[in-house]
Structure 1
């Protein structure tokens, strides 16, 4: 219900005029009775309105308080609440779409299905414990083991396989470009970034410090670092540049080594890198090692192949159902715990003396899955999750 209204200060004078929107429970974001004020904005008027509201007994919302109330009132599960923050923080369209899938509840529905299937399988085991006098054929437990493999273990492993890509969609990745001076590192950075970000020169040693630029590869946010050419130098500044280059490469998520096809002395194949690119192929005088991606950055040749190789190195895989993608470290740890408990229970499934252990392990697995959605005693999890939210939301 929208009402045009005036808001008054303590003396009765009008501070502002705007819309008061009333959302009766449970039809608000939090599931509670809510009033939203829409004024003209501007920091002075806004501050005066807030001060008046505080005088009347209101208090500022804590980080994530509205979303936390929505979880506590059953408007969304904890995975959806985390997706709210992910939508805000998404740096690429792909990440934003993935956050929206989770916000709509698709990921939570997959977890709920796993929990339902696990509940059914645990019930079969506990039924065996309740009727110990009944002789249960081995085939019965073989069928349980097969169902557990198909319905729990395989889906959980598939979700865990997606975690490297899912987490990097939101956390991003750092890629260091390394190689000898004047092999085309800065030219590649400019080509990948799509703009002239680094100075390109035929003079060796032009890049003295680490130069970083942000862009995306296949929807993955990437911070690309152009480093000083690796060589022995008497120049103290260049020496420091080489030291920083080596340090950047050591801490990067991936390293891209570039060599010059016309200068075999730059082909140091013993160097540790994830991707090898041979630049200036138009000037090649001899056969190049097979591990190199052939390129000529000046002509735009090989740049797309380098992008694809980087995406693969950073975990980009084809996922049949991206709504099952794991995007948070917390979810991955819970799934790992659930998988460990499920597999531990499988080891004792065929031993009648140890069936209680199987049931206990599988109940623990259920709790681990429930923790993803905020089911069970998860107050400490709520505190950690919502401490990462922006103020209010």
Structure 2
């Protein structure tokens, strides 16, 4: 990745397509437009142009976004062409001959970050937005991309600066008569309120994680309890193998399902029983691990299958009586029948209600592992302040450390390794 280069990439996805968009960014953008599009159009206005230098390659729309009012903060342009592989290949080839190079994964977004157009939290929000599959994921990602978490973190940092100012005034002006040794009551109240605010954000991490990664729903029970059949019925597809032979499921199969705008990950697991088969025993071990970490466990019991010992779980547990067409079990939370469809809609509604309880009314802005690490560290340093008030220098240093970890969360101070890993997860045209 070379600073100062002019980069280009197909930003509109797989070809062929109705329209292909080639994005340019860097100091040679205006010269490149003169070369391939017959001149630079008016800023932020689409212009119909012949595209090609020595020969006409296509006809399309050209847009120019001058620095610094562009996505990357540099001169940018977009070429909107017909989406054939041959056309895009020819245009990229001509631009390469002019001196432009193909962008690396995430390079446009990295330039936006380095030029102050986005901070690291907004970059992560953009990545989440690109990968969003459900309505809740879109809402959560857009809120992060719009800078709502950045605003909160900046507010916390401002409070920390105010707290530091009070302490450092006592360090620098201890001989002045108007500087008292005791900190005002309001100072202690601000520190306590700050700890509550950060702890509250940290407590919402699980709901944020559930929106990003999905509610994990383990379908568990004895062999032939109807787990695979129920997954197929909920997904409306023959995803899992259904057989009368016990022990056919040997691994954890994940099936994504969008219920009411929330992502649910259904886990088809091996039936729980004693077995001498090493392969089946490994499948049962993995099933028990998945059950232990699941957000919801659907414990399936069937009239023609022996019940198994229920494993430990930290998630919500619903007992589901399957094969209700054979026998209805009133003692279970819900009875379903894949054969007749009985209870399936009610089960979906129960899952939807449980998901809404887990995520709350508004999606959490705190949803990444990096958020947890930074906010936990900030709380640790703030806790140290209480025990260091006998020594102003130690207290000031703890406040400075808390401010630094929040700056690192935003990306104002960070290691190159973290940045490389983050931007490599983006597609080439972004």
Q: In structure 2, which of residues 347, 351, 373 is the aligned counterpart of residue 303 of structure 1? A: 347
**2:387 maps to 1:347:** yes
Q: Where does residue 32 of structure 1 map in the other structure? A: 74
Q: CA deviation at 1:306?
A: 5.2
1:199–1:14 CA distance, 2 compared to 1 (3 A): closer
Aligned length: 372
Q: Where does residue 361 of structure 1 map in the other structure? A: 398
Q: CA deviation at 1:117?
A: 1.3
Q: Distance in 2 between matches of 1:196 and 1:295?
A: 23
Q: Where does residue 38 of structure 2 map in the other structure? A: none
Work out whether residues 228 and 242 of structure 1, in 8 Å CA contact, stay in contact via their aligned partners in 2: no
Q: In structure 2, which of residues 93, 104, 113 is the aligned counterpart of residue 71 of structure 1? A: 113
**2:426 maps to 1:386:** no
Q: CA deviation at 1:41?
A: 2.3
Runs of at least 5 residues in structure 2 that lack an aligned partner in the other structure: 1-41
Task: Tell me the SS of whatever aligns to 1:5.
Answer: strand
Larger proportion of helix: 1
Q: Where does residue 5 of structure 1 map in the other structure? A: 49
Q: In structure 2, which of residues 291, 296, 301 is the aligned counterpart of residue 260 of structure 1? A: 301
Work out whether residues 81 and 103 of structure 1, in 8 Å CA contact, stay in contact via their aligned partners in 2: yes
Q: Where does residue 143 of structure 1 map in the other structure? A: 186
Task: Tell me the SS of whatever aligns to 1:111.
Answer: helix
Q: Distance in 1 between matches of 2:371 and 2:394?
A: 25
Q: Distance in 1 between matches of 2:112 and 2:192?
A: 35
1:281–1:145 CA distance, 2 compared to 1 (3 A): farther
Alignment of 1:1-393 (within 5 A): 1=42, 2-9=46-53, 12-133=54-175, 134=177, 136=180, 138=182, 140-150=183-193, 152-172=194-214, 174-194=216-236, 197-198=239-240, 203=244, 205=246, 207-210=248-251, 211-216=253-258, 219-232=261-274, 240-241=279-280, 243-251=282-290, 253-254=293-294, 256=297, 258-260=299-301, 266=307, 268-269=309-310, 271-273=311-313, 274=315, 275-279=317-321, 283=327, 294-298=333-337, 299-300=342-343, 303-304=347-348, 307=351, 311=355, 316-318=358-360, 322=363, 325-349=365-389, 351=390, 354-376=391-413, 378-393=415-430
Work out whether residues 339 and 365 of structure 1, in 8 Å CA contact, stay in contact via their aligned partners in 2: yes
TM-score with structure 2 setting the length: 0.76
1:243–1:185 CA distance, 2 compared to 1 (3 A): same
Work out whether residues 192 and 303 of structure 1, in 8 Å CA contact, stay in contact via their aligned partners in 2: no
TM-score with structure 1 setting the length: 0.83
Runs of at least 5 residues in structure 1 that lack an aligned partner in the other structure: none
- The alignment's C-alpha RMSD in Å is 3.1
Larger mean Cα displacement after TM superposition, 248-257 or 34-43: 248-257
Q: CA deviation at 1:136?
A: 2.9
Q: Distance in 2 between matches of 1:242 and 1:227?
A: 12
1:311–1:241 CA distance, 2 compared to 1 (3 A): farther
Work out whether residues 321 and 336 of structure 2, in 8 Å CA contact, stay in contact via their aligned partners in 1: yes
Task: Tell me the SS of whatever aligns to 2:57.
Answer: strand
1:197–1:300 CA distance, 2 compared to 1 (3 A): farther
1:260–1:390 CA distance, 2 compared to 1 (3 A): same
Q: CA deviation at 1:191?
A: 4.9
Task: Tell me the SS of whatever aligns to 1:38.
Answer: strand
Q: Distance in 1 between matches of 2:268 and 2:73?
A: 50
Q: CA deviation at 1:357?
A: 0.8
Task: Tell me the SS of whatever aligns to 1:39.
Answer: strand
Work out whether residues 217 and 298 of structure 2, in 8 Å CA contact, stay in contact via their aligned partners in 1: no
